[in-house]
Structure 1
Amino acid sequence: MTSTWYCALLRGITPGKPNMRNEKLRGVFDGMGFTGVASVLSSGNIVFAAETTDTTALEGRIRGALRGELGIGGETIVRSRSELVTLVDTEPFGELQHARETYLTATFLKEPLEPVPEPFPEPDEPAVRIVGYDPGARAVLAVSDNTSSSSPDFMAWLERRFGKDITTRTWLTVHRILKRMPDCA
């Protein structure tokens, strides 16, 4: 069987805590027998290759190992390289560039939205605009304007609307994750 490249998007990682440092996280993934283990930034993004296509099983196995070995209780969301490539290739943000006034984010949901609400809900925050929902990557895509002195409480809105089994990454981070994953296993 050939390996598939994945990224584990770990929720609630604080790099200042000793058990949440990249070397400890990578150690857990190495210990599970995954190959090509690497971290991206210091916010809980671990890329790896595995010989399974069952992402639900991977999520459970990783979550259990992180809790058992490091005492980390946050959620684990796994996306394959192909899911992330397809998301990026759709160019959901068009010509927008990531900046303070156009802060681009992808919020990955544990479970797909079924059905996808029409119209898609909009936050009460005037500084935030939902660009769309990508069903393949199970991601809510948004643009925030962070130039005002009061920062929008978009993360709280996301949790109220979609639950706590979510995790948000900047669009730049999504691109950095993909750069760490080889084109083939």
Structure 2
Amino acid sequence: MYRYVALLRGIAPSLPNMTNDKLRGVFESLRFEQVGSVLASGNIVFRTSASDVPALEQRIQQALNDRLGIAGVTIIREHAELRTLLDSDPFPGLTHGRGTYLTATFLKDGAMAPERLPEQADPQARIVAYDRAARAFLAVGDNSTPGTTPDFMSWLDRTYGKDITTRTWLTVQRIVKKLEA
């Protein structure tokens, strides 16, 4: 049995069709086991014997669209991928906060990995690494200035379009904890 998290892009929990109970209901209707949610931002953990991740992503996204009208993006990661990412300690000595906003941006399976990391010209963001196994950019941002977005996030959107989703490092840690429960 595989332990997965579906990272759903574009979830606004204030919308009636995007609440955790409705999202979990879709996953339960697909006969996944031990379905749970982490926070209210589109992180659904589940277990299944299916191992074809792209097929799972497509199946889940189709069900979300058909049942709830959610046309966003579904990105799946397996527990072992995220556990290895956490154990690699990509942010040594840093604590998540306003000046050190730690993030992981996950690329959909099939997205091309970068040949090289983007230039580090943005004073609001520092790209720590690209983790090939987890297919994730790891970055430290400074969001202490209200109303600004690091250029790094704009670069990600221009390069990968909607086939990405970003989570804080704290959220990634909570997801792994839930997968291990």
Alignment of 1:53-72 (within 5 A): 53-72=51-70
Q: Find the counterpart in structure 2 of residue 88 from structure 1.
A: 86
Alignment of 1:101-120 (within 5 A): 101-111=99-109, 114=112, 116-118=114-116, 120=117
Change in 2 beyond 3 A, CA 1:155/1:65: same
Q: In 2, distance between residues paired with 1:44 and 1:178?
A: 15
TM-score between the two structures when normalised by the length of structure 2? 0.94
Q: In 2, distance between residues paired with 1:111 and 1:47?
A: 18
Q: Find the counterpart in structure 2 of residue 161 from structure 1.
A: 159
Alignment of 1:1-185 (within 5 A): 3-111=1-109, 114=112, 116-118=114-116, 120-122=117-119, 124-153=121-150, 154-182=152-180
Q: RMSD value over aligned CA atoms?
A: 1.5
Q: In 2, distance between residues paired with 1:115 and 1:18?
A: 35
Residues 112 and 135 of structure 1 are in contact (CA less than 8 Å); yes or no, is this contact kept in structure 2? Answer: no
SS at match of 1:26: helix
Change in 2 beyond 3 A, CA 1:113/1:14: closer
Superposed CA offset, 1:59-112 (max 9, x none): 010000000000000000000000000111111111111010000000000135
Q: In 2, distance between residues paired with 1:11 and 1:127?
A: 23
Superposed CA offset, 1:10-36 (max 9, x none): 000000100000000000000000000
Report the alpha carbon displacement of residue 152 of structure 1 after superposing the two structures with TM. 2.2
Report the alpha carbon displacement of residue 123 of structure 1 after superposing the two structures with TM. 5.8
Equivalent pairs, count:
180
Q: In 2, distance between residues paired with 1:87 and 1:78?
A: 14
Q: In 2, distance between residues paired with 1:92 and 1:112?
A: 23
Residues 75 and 109 of structure 2 are in contact (CA less than 8 Å); yes or no, is this contact kept in structure 1? Answer: no
Note the residue ranges of structure 2 that are not aligned, 5 or more in a row. Answer: none
Note the residue ranges of structure 1 that are not aligned, 5 or more in a row. Answer: none
Identity among equivalent pairs (%): 55
